[in-house]
């Protein structure tokens, strides 16, 4: 059982890293598109067509695909003023509750995101602009990122229950590889 849990943990870590790298590439692409658009407008009085639409999609990819790794490494912003005043058992319970609520929240986002992406793809939904840009990739990226975040929250809850909590938020921070 421990071996299969380790394999699942490795798969989840690799997925988190892969999607975070994809998020970084999307951020780089967004910066390049923006810079080319500004340069084209300033130098040649010719903006890059579809910049707005591409930036919208890349923004969703950038944000949602990095969520799982942020959760894995516990780098989300948290306010610990009240939590640090609680007894340890209550801190752990608070961390478990937070992971459970996050799981529910991101699972719902993923569920509706997958439905929206499938519907968008089926009807061939495009944004109306200078360039007809497909909408389904952004909806798919949102669903994929939310699914990975939900999987990470589920993993965190399982670790807290099976192995016992190790840090102040009750879920045991995972070391970066």
| Six token digits for residue 119 | 């519907």
Candidate from 5-9, 97-101, 160-164 with smallest mean pLDDT: 160-164
The domain locations on the chain are: 2-162
Long-range contacts of 107-113 (CB under 8 A, 24+ apart): 107/146, 107/150, 109/142, 109/143, 109/146, 110/143, 110/146, 110/147, 110/149, 110/150, 113/139, 113/140, 113/142, 113/143, 113/146, 113/147
Q: What is the pLDDT of residues 56-74, one digit of tens each?
A: 999 999 999 999 999 999 8
The residues, ordered by sequence, that sit 6+ positions from 66 with a Cβ below 8 Å of its Cβ are 19, 20, 23, 24, 145
Closest CA to 19 of 84, 80, 54, 71: 71
Q: What is the pLDDT of residues 140-173, one digit of tens each?
A: 999 999 999 999 999 999 887 876 655 434 444 4
Amino acid 169: pLDDT: 47
Amino acid 69: pLDDT: 96
Instruction: Give the percent of the chain with pLDDT over 70.
Output: 90
């Amino acid at each position: 059982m421990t071996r299969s849990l380790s394999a699942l943990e490795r798969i989840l870590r690799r997925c988190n890293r892969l999607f975070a790298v994809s998020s970084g590439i999307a951020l780089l692409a967004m910066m390049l598109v923006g810079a080319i658009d500004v340069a084209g407008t300033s130098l040649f009085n010719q903006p890059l067509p579809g910049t707005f639409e591409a930036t919208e999609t890349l923004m969703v990819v950038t944000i949602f695909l990095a969520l799982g790794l942020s959760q894995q490494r516990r780098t989300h912003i948290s306010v610990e003023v009240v939590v640090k005043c609680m007894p340890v058992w209550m801190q752990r319970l608070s961390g478990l509750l937070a992971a459970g609520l996050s799981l529910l929240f991101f699972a719902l986002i993923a569920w509706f995101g997958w439905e929206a992406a499938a519907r968008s793809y089926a009807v061939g939904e495009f944004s109306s602009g200078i360039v007809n840009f497909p909408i389904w990739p952004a909806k798919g990226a949102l669903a994929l990122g939310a699914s990975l975040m939900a999987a990470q929250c589920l993993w965190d809850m399982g670790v807290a229950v099976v192995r016992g909590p190790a840090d102040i938020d009750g879920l045991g921070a995972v070391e970066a590889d």
